[in-house]
């Protein structure tokens, strides 16, 4: 082979080698670009995911804060409702307890007017108890105890006031006539003994003694002509009580103290 042919072959091989090298280098460059683009894309995805996660975390924290604030406000609102229910109930029962009955007033209508006022106050106390039952069911039992005590107190006060007025009328009759109404008083205290005594042989015997004591007391009071029917009924009613009416008067402060203590504990816990 002559020199020209050898030179031509070498030139052709050099061109082919250059083309091959260019192809390989170009491929490496493309792979590098793709890798760089992939890395860039992956980094952007990671950043986007981190940003999204942070946004969700912030939103969750904000929602939790809003929920906590709403729960706190709701608890405070419910506590306020319970406190108002306790106060309304206490004021209503105190209103009943504050009613006074005249003793030396001979007009029966005056006492009836006071009794009507007491009934209205009792109805307000009962209505306040219904609200309390709704807002604070755990306080129902202690509130019922106080309400029952106030109702018993109201009845005892009325019975006692009516009795005191009738007793005063008896004293005036004795003073004006100059004689003691011993038979009437003895019959009344015999009635009290028959009602409260527990020494009966049988229930049948007890009923016979009660009927006899009632009849004797009514007959004795009927002999006191200046007494009114209302006064006679008041005397018999008082002496036929199974327990001393004054006992009901001292139970209200005890029940009120129990209610106040329970209410304080309930409000402190809320």
For the entire predicted model, the pTM comes to 0.63
The predicted-structure confidence for 160-192, as pLDDT tens digits, reads as follows: 888 888 888 898 888 888 777 889 999 999 999
Q: What is the pLDDT of residue 147?
A: 92
Does some domain include residue 93?
yes
Residue 97 contacts residue 249 (beta carbons within 8 Å)? no
Q: What is the pLDDT of residue 105?
A: 53
Residue 111 contacts residue 159 (beta carbons within 8 Å)? no
- Length in residues, the chain: 270
3-state secondary structure 98-121: CCCCCCCCCCHHHHHHHHHHHHHH
Does some domain include residue 18?
no
The more confident residue out of 97 and 107 is 97
Give the whole-angstrom CA distance, residue 140 versus residue 152.
18
Residue 144 clears pLDDT 90, i.e. is over it: yes
Does some domain include residue 112?
yes
Does some domain include residue 78?
yes
Radius of gyration of the chain (CA): 49
Write out the two tokens for 254: 């005890």
Q: What is the mean pLDDT of residues 235-256?
A: 80
Give the whole-angstrom CA distance, residue 196 versus residue 143.
30
Residue 70 clears pLDDT 70, i.e. is over it: no
Does some domain include residue 189?
no
Query: What is the number of structural domains in the chain?
Result: 1
Burial class of 229 by CB neighbour count within 10 A (0 to 12, 13 to 18, 19+): exposed
Residue 218 clears pLDDT 90, i.e. is over it: yes
Supply the mean pLDDT for the chain. 77
Does some domain include residue 239?
yes
How distant, in Å, are the alpha carbons of 147, 153, 210, 258 from that of 250? Answer: 14, 8, 28, 14
Quote the domain boundaries for residue 154. Answer: 65-181+224-269
Q: What is the mean pLDDT of residues 130-159?
A: 88
Does some domain include residue 139?
yes
Q: What is the pLDDT of residue 206?
A: 82
Half-sphere exposure of 118 (CA within 13 A, CB side): 20
User: Which residue shows structure tokens 């036929």?
Assistant: 240
Does some domain include residue 97?
yes
Residue 1 clears pLDDT 60, i.e. is over it: no
Q: What is the pLDDT of residue 101?
A: 63
């Amino acid at each position: 082979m002559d020199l020209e042919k050898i030179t031509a072959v070498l030139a052709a091989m050099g061109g082919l080698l250059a083309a091959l090298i260019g192809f390989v280098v170009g491929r490496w460059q493309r792979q590098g670009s793709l890798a760089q683009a992939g890395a860039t894309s992956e980094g952007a995805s990671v950043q986007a995911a981190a940003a999204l996660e942070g946004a969700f975390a912030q939103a969750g924290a904000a929602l939790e804060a809003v929920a906590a604030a709403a729960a706190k406000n709701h608890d405070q609102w419910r506590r306020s409702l319970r406190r108002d229910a306790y106060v309304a109930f206490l004021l209503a029962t105190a209103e009943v307890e504050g009613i006074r009955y005249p003793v030396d007033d001979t007009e029966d209508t005056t006492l009836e007017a006071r009794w009507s006022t007491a009934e209205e106050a009792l109805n307000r106390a009962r209505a306040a108890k219904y609200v309390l039952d709704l807002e604070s069911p755990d306080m129902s039992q202690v509130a019922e105890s106080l309400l029952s005590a106030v109702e018993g107190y109201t009845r005892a006060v009325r019975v006692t006031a009516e009795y005191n007025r009738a007793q005063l009328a008896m004293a005036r009759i004795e003073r004006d006539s100059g004689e003691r109404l011993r038979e009437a008083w003895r019959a009344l205290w015999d009635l009290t003994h028959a009602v409260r005594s527990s020494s009966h042989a049988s229930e049948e015997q007890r009923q016979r003694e009660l009927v006899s004591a009632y009849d004797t007391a009514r007959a004795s009071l009927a002999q006191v002509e200046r007494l009114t029917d209302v006064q006679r009924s008041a005397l018999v009613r008082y002496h036929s009580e199974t327990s001393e009416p004054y006992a009901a008067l001292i139970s209200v402060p005890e029940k009120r103290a129990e209610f106040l203590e329970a209410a304080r504990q309930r409000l402190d816990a809320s």
